[in-house]
Amino acid sequence: MILTVNIGNTHITLGGYQQDTLQFCGRLHADPAATADEYAIQIINLLTLHHTAPVEIEGAILGSVVPSLTGRVVAALRLLSNVRVMTVGPGLKSGLKLRLDNPAQLGAELLCGVVAAMEDAPPPMAVILADTAISIMAVNDKRELVGGVILPGPQLSADSLVRNTAQLPQVDLIGAAPASVLGKNTSACLQAGVILGTACQLDGLAARFCAELGPKTRFYATGNLPASIRRACKTPILYRETLITDGLYKIWQRNRKG
């Protein structure tokens, strides 16, 4: 089994692949105070939950946007199984040409998301990663990652409004599904503004990406983008929950003989 590990600011996501098939996917809390030993125990518990023993792990690949945790998680993996642990970064083949001012600034999760999307369909395409912020990265028809945009995520926008105003309440963005911009109360107005407003932002940006990349540009999404926003978008967006995990595995496949 090959273990993929994606270290984010809030969670660490692990996936187990056997014969090119994802067997399980689970998440741990990203604790900045946890030691390598503590992470090793948590990973063992997660593997046990999915009926997998550490000795079954034949290799691992890790992507991280939290440098302070990278070393500890790598050490934890090596405590479990004496196998090679690849780390996404310079030196690993991705199949992409990075046409960026500073390729080292590209987050591992964005690179992995793009790699997985390109396995699904040929470019041009744009990959949307939604978390605290929404990042969108574009690939042209030459398989070159040519840039993108970053904008505030919907929850961040809502939290900022509530925090910086006197009378706006916290609202649910997950279960809400505003059908109209004509909200009849404060909560409904805020839900419609954030959900439909984010959808309009994505539609507007999608039109600009198509103008740059071509009208046949495909759009993929992963991360915490509420279904209510995806449904409100006029742009067809293919949501794949395991896009980053799949991308990690694809990069491992490209580099396993190295």
What is the mean pLDDT, run by run of 10 residues, along the chain of 258 residues? 94 96 96 96 97 95 95 95 90 92 93 96 96 94 97 93 92 88 94 96 98 98 92 96 97 89
Is 71 annotated as belonging to a binding site?
A: no
Task: Give 167: exposed, middle or buried? Use CB within 10 Å, 0-12, 13-18, 19+.
Answer: exposed
Going by their DSSP bridges, the two strands 218-223 and 238-239 should be labelled as: parallel
CATH architecture, range 2-87? 2-Layer Sandwich (3.30)
Q: Residue 79: what pLDDT?
A: 93
Is 9 annotated as belonging to a binding site?
A: yes
Is 164 annotated as belonging to a binding site?
A: no
Is 186 annotated as belonging to a binding site?
A: yes
Distance CA 28, CA 12 (A): 5
Is 132 annotated as belonging to a binding site?
A: yes
Q: Residue 235: what pLDDT?
A: 98
Distance CA 122, CA 104 (A): 25
Q: Residue 175: what pLDDT?
A: 83
Q: Residue 258: what pLDDT?
A: 61
Q: What is the CA radius of gyration of the chain?
A: 20
Is 235 annotated as belonging to a binding site?
A: no
Looking at CATH, the fold of the domain delimited by 97-241 is given as: Nucleotidyltransferase; domain 5 (3.30.420)
Equal CATH topology for 2-87 and 97-241: yes
Spans of all domains in the chain:
2-87, 97-241
